[in-house]
Amino acid sequence: MRLTRRHLLATAASPLLFPTFPALAQQPRRGGVLVVAADTEPRNLNPALVASNGVFFVASKVIEPLAEMAYGEPGLTPRLALAFEGAPDGRSVTFRLRPGVRFHDGRPFTSADVAYCALELWKKHQNLGRVFFKDLEAVDTPDPLTAIFRFASPTPLQLVENALPALTAVVPRHLFEGTDPLTNPHNQKLVGTGPFRFVEHRPGQFYRLERNPDHWDAPKPWLDGIVYRVLPDRGAIAAALEAGEIQLAAFSAVPLADMKRLEKLPGIAVIDKGYEGITYQLTVEINHRRKELADVRVRRAIAHAIDPNFVVERIFLGWAKPATGPIPRFDRRFYTADVPTYPYDPKRAEALLDEAGLPRGPNGVRFSVELLPAPWFEHTRQMGDYLRQALKAVGIEAKLVVKDPAGHQKAVYTDHAFDLAIGSPVYRNDPAISTTILYQGGLPPGVPFSNQYGYADPAMDELIARAARTLDPAERAELYRRFQRLAAEQLPLIPVVEFTFLTVASTRVRGVADNPRWATSHWAETWLEA
């Protein structure tokens, strides 16, 4: 594919990756308020600053990116951008923006908003954008509907395409310019261009959105509004669904143990699509500042002590697959299985620990660690319990330290106050977006969901840098295969399983899972049967 070709928001992913759904047989119906379960309340809801699914779940209905993922060809659908064109040298991408778009406060959306967000928010502050946009040196705005991104070094058009859905949320410049963006009140009181307007948030109770009657995609959205009920207890979510108090729970918010029972109930559907573009992994994060854990033999021993099949069957009840490395199987452009593996083998784990000079003491313990399971999901908490037992079997004593989401994020990604942690990184359609950041050295403290592990290797950093600036897709793919092999050899962190999620919804809810990031997308197509 030539980089000079004009794209109408073209291929962000191979058409082989995602199934194509048939068109809805029924005509969408206008009206109704969709009541949804929310099990977390992010402190910052601005996706231009925090690119995470917990933020997108609410904010993506209010604040739009330049493009969204799609099933099949061409892999993207236009949102705030209609088309783009990459220069042959990889140093610029020109975006043609959608005309006639207004923010919810009535001010027009223009290229100046895109330039401000790119240079002042995504590049400087966004957790993923800090790395992705580090070589973005300017954004030219020759007219209100044209934004030209200029990069200091070659940047693959393939990578830019793949980043559009998750990293390019646009907020209004006029509400952020001249303020501290990190403390701006509109990080909570959202203003965007999306199909829904933000109305209110009552902590511990709900978020409420209402239909934007002036949305550019009229007559959508079909819903009159969306209410996110804050229900941190998963059992309460299942009960609310059965009672008809809510109509939808995304991100496997209902315990997996309840899925088979719920899908047999009349009026309830379990949907396993709509998450392919946000595949997760369950990982063991490792603090390399700890002497014992800096030894690769110890990290390999920990890998041998873990039974991924047990995790798949007992924690995920079969809704997962063992991982082989940092790139999940579904992305056939980059994935390779040709990597070193560490099959479950406690005897081999013990031999490696002995070889590392860490024999069992009189009490049978080789050394002790503090283990912090991330509190985001039921799976991460359960994995903490399992890993504690698995490590005990090979002589490593693990003390579980459970924190709330803010405390966990601070301990791992700012204070580095952990030995081992259970993480759940998400793969966002290209290794350079949210995956290589877990392996790249030299990142400043405080960048969430990044390499804050004390791991640094010049060969790994060079491989990551080369892949990020290589224009040829085939050469990029080979570099990422090498990246996977090096990651498997060194085990900076240990990928255990890969998984996506399930949505449980009333059968009245239609237009569900119509794109590979559905739960974190706009929901303009979603509607309620009478």
pLDDT of residue 125: 95
Spatial CA neighbour of 387 closest among 405, 402, 399: 399
Q: Does domain 277-499 correspond to CATH entry 3.10.105.10?
A: yes
pLDDT of residue 509: 98
Q: For residue 193, what are its two tokens?
A: 């261009």
Query: Residue 142 corresponds to which amino acid?
Result: P
Q: For residue 382, what are its two tokens?
A: 């359960």
Q: For residue 85, what are its two tokens?
A: 């064109």
* CA 311 to chain CA centroid, nearest Å: 21
Alpha-carbon separation of residue 61 from 42, 49, 129, 424, 437 (angstroms): 15, 16, 20, 24, 27
pLDDT of residue 339: 97
Spatial CA neighbour of 426 closest among 155, 166, 60: 166
According to DSSP, the residues that pair with 524 across neighbouring strands are: none
Using CA atoms, how far apart are residues 395 and 363, in angstroms rounded to an integer? 9
Using CA atoms, how far apart are residues 246 and 233, in angstroms rounded to an integer? 14
pLDDT of residue 519: 96
Q: How many residues does the chain have?
A: 530
3-state secondary structure of 182: coil
Using CA atoms, how far apart are residues 504 and 264, in angstroms rounded to an integer? 12
0.85 exceeded by the pTM? no
According to DSSP, the residues that pair with 270 across neighbouring strands are: 504
DSSP letter for 144, please. Answer: T
pLDDT of residue 7: 42
pLDDT beneath 70: ranges in the chain: 1-25
Q: For residue 99, what are its two tokens?
A: 């005309």
H or E stretch at 298: helix 296-305
The 10 Å Cβ neighbour count of residue 78 is 18
Q: Strands 367-373 and 420-423, how do they pair?
A: parallel
pLDDT of residue 25: 54
382-391 as b/e: b if 16+ CB within 10 A: bbbebbbebb
Q: Is 202 exposed, middle or buried (0-12, 13-18, 19+ CB in 10 A)?
A: exposed
Measured distance between the N- and C-terminal CA atoms of the chain, rounded to whole angstroms: 46
H or E stretch at 261: helix 259-263
Q: For residue 407, what are its two tokens?
A: 């405390």
3-state secondary structure of 279: strand
What residue ranges do the domains of the chain occupy? Answer: 277-499
Using CA atoms, how far apart are residues 351 and 349, in angstroms rounded to an integer? 5
Query: Residue 179 corresponds to which amino acid?
Result: T
| Angle between the N-to-C axes of helices 296-305 and 346-355, in degrees from 0 to 180, rounded to the nearest 10 | 160
User: Which pairs count as long-range contacts for 38-41, CB under 8 Å and 24+ apart, including other chains?
Assistant: 38/206, 38/207, 38/228, 38/229, 38/230, 38/231, 39/230, 39/231, 39/232, 39/234, 39/237, 39/251, 39/253, 40/232, 40/376, 40/405, 41/201, 41/203, 41/204, 41/230
Spatial CA neighbour of 58 closest among 172, 199, 207: 207
H or E stretch at 475: helix 473-490
Helices (H), 151-258: 157-167, 173-176, 234-243
Using CA atoms, how far apart are residues 11 and 115, in angstroms rounded to an integer? 24
Q: Are 334 and 480 in contact (CB under 8 A)?
A: yes
Q: What is the DSSP string of 424-468?
A: --EE-SSHHHHTGGGT-S-PPTT-TTS--SS---HHHHHHHHHHH
Per 3-state DSSP, what percentage of the chain is helix, strand, and coil (rounded to 5)? 30, 20, 50
Alpha-carbon separation of residue 154 from 136, 161, 481 (angstroms): 10, 14, 20
pLDDT of residue 23: 41
Using CA atoms, how far apart are residues 76 and 469, in angstroms rounded to an integer? 22
Q: Are 405 and 355 in contact (CB under 8 A)?
A: no
DSSP letter for 293, please. Answer: G
Q: Collect all residues with Cβ–Cβ distance below 8 Å to 36 and sequence separation of at least 6.
A: 226, 227, 228, 229, 246, 247, 248, 249, 250
Cα torsion for 304, 308, 313, 315, to the nearest 10°? Answer: 100
